[in-house]
Structure 1
Amino acid sequence: MSIRVHPCFLGAAMKLAKLGDGPEIFHTIQGEGVSVGMPAVFIRASRCNLHCVWCDTDHTWNFEGTPWPHEKDEVPGYAKHRKADVTFELTPLEAAGRVMAYNCGRTVITGGEPLLQENAFLEMIGRIRMEDPDHQFEVETNGTRLPSPAFHEAVNQFNVSPKLANAGMAESLIRNPAALRFFAASPKAWFKFVVAEPDDMREIEALCGSHGISRHRVLLMPEGRVSAELDRSSAWLADVCRDGGYRFCDRLHIRIWGDKRGV
């Protein structure tokens, strides 16, 4: 498949999250979703158009000077991030080289919100496919932005995670009906919802019903950063999945490594 990127965007720097002294690109296993347990290289985009109050990757958006609250605000020593300290810039060619160095056939593009930089990621995908035509790409997105036709064609799987009221934002920010309908019609898309309490199910069912999202492509995941938090809601959420025809989605990376980055 030939991947075309507009010449204006070729070679443009990608803003990635920073991990240690380099970009947040790491080799692990997929901890969530329908490809859970599969070896994958993760590459984390910096910048997001949302600001979930419970977000576990707040270093991609909760920068100094922004007004948004976060649940860590009450944690002693927590402060908003200095943008330069948590951002690492690479060209798509450089990013492709780092990904290919792991010799893994699956890459998960996550964030932040990757679709804010889809042209740069499209260029990276094209470079990797030159060396590995069968390389599989997953994109994790919040479902508020429509992918371009070229990006949709290039990506194998979209892990769409629409946000609920428990994310602490106005519905006008977290809902793009056109994008949700697009992903609902795409055979490449799966929908993952973070569930904090039983009342969230009413919102999930209403959203799926109004946008034509089949429950057979819906995964329900307990909210939590550590195993003890996941345990508090896993049992009743598993019952909901069993009785309602949804997939239960655990957070395998947290079960194995805890609340750590780069795993």
Structure 2
Amino acid sequence: MGEGHEGLAALPLGRSWVGVNSRRDPTARSHPQPTSPSPLRGQGCVSTLATITPGEPEIFVALQGEGPSAGQPCAFVRLSRCNLACVWCDTAYTWRFESDTRPHRDGINFDRSDNQFVLAEPDVAERIGALGQKRLVVTGGEPLLQAAALARMLALLPPMTVEIETNGTISPPSTFDRRVAQYNVSPKLAHSGNPAALALLPDRLARWAAEPRAFFKFVIAEPADLAEVLELRDRFALPPERIFLMPEGRNSGTLRTRAVWLSELCSKYEFNLSDRLHIYSHGDTRGT
């Protein structure tokens, strides 16, 4: 789902080669290709994942880089596809494929066959379980586009704490209630380039506001963006302790500059500041 769901200090474990490829280069292959099962095209009970390299699904271990769980070791799985199109999205390889003409800062269209991988749900669960982590972050893209498949996959996991990252436009099914401990909801503001009619759905935001497991993370590029956050806070009675402001940026210099004035705004309004820790250690790369 773009800026707002990444990890830090990824490790090469099992069959996953991680932390190496540029998000923006769909042909980058810094590692040799690991042996992977063939994609299960056209079969039921599958999930569509993003890839680290062509043919290798983006399942990895890292420290969570953002939000309320920042700094905690986690397993990550990145699902493909998104229903929004943020102009600054740092995971456009999950949605901006060959025929997509929606604007994006980089102007790159990605080859779908290189950047998507269809994997049976038991295989997804097995790979996640093999990483041996106590916490799982499901990110995207927009994971809730695959809610039914995701619910089936979560039911196959060993006991672990699950958090899901979402743009807030889709309500989670009740089948998630037994497995999901935390939702990281990142509503997209006007500077994302998404029309409010698509990105800020009042009925969905009202439901998220009433969800005690939901935290709200807003990507901020300019101080003026705060006006939208305050309007949403007031309209939906969002508790300030569940609001995180995060600087938009894909390099450490931009993040540091914006964090200076963002920290002052957080202090003034009693919000939380979210950094993007993985950018400092790994840059703008996949599998981190």
Q: CA RMSD in A?
A: 1.2
Out of 100, 109, 118, the residue aligned to residue 89 of structure 1 is 118
Asked if residue 117 in structure 1 is aligned to residue 146 in structure 2, the reply is yes
Asked if residue 221 in structure 1 is aligned to residue 246 in structure 2, the reply is yes
| Mapping of residues 1-263 of structure 1, within 5 Å | 12-20=45-53, 21-73=55-107, 79-128=108-157, 132-133=158-159, 135-263=160-288
Contact 1:11 1:92 in 2 (8 A): no
Q: Which has the higher contact order (CA 8 A, sep 6+)?
A: 2
1:176 deviation in Å?
1.5
Contact 1:140 1:158 in 2 (8 A): yes
Gap regions ≥5 residues in structure 2: 1-42
C-alpha distance in 2 between matches for 1:215 and 1:153: 26
User: What's the secondary structure of 2:138's corresponding residue?
Assistant: strand
Gap regions ≥5 residues in structure 1: 1-9, 74-78
> TM (normalized to structure 1)?
0.91
1:19 deviation in Å?
1.3
C-alpha distance in 2 between matches for 1:141 and 1:26: 19
1:154 deviation in Å?
2.4
1:177 deviation in Å?
1.3
Q: Deviations over 1:79-128 (max 9, x none)?
A: 30121111001111000000011110111000000000011111111101
Count of aligned pairs between the two proteins: 245
C-alpha distance in 2 between matches for 1:221 and 1:94: 34
C-alpha distance in 1 between matches for 2:94 and 2:86: 11
User: What's the secondary structure of 1:72's corresponding residue?
Assistant: coil
State the one-letter code of the partner of 1:208: R
**1:4 corresponding residue in structure 2:** none
State the one-letter code of the partner of 2:99: G
1:11 deviation in Å?
5.2
User: What's the secondary structure of 1:162's corresponding residue?
Assistant: coil
Contact 1:11 1:120 in 2 (8 A): no
> Percent identity between the aligned chains?
44
Contact 2:161 2:179 in 1 (8 A): no
Q: Structure 1 158/186 Cα, relative in aligned 2: closer, same or farther at 3 Å?
A: same
Contact 1:16 1:23 in 2 (8 A): yes
C-alpha distance in 2 between matches for 1:63 and 1:11: 23
> TM (normalized to structure 2)?
0.83
C-alpha distance in 2 between matches for 1:105 and 1:123: 19
C-alpha distance in 2 between matches for 1:223 and 1:66: 23
Contact 1:24 1:43 in 2 (8 A): yes
C-alpha distance in 1 between matches for 2:276 and 2:220: 12
C-alpha distance in 2 between matches for 1:90 and 1:35: 27
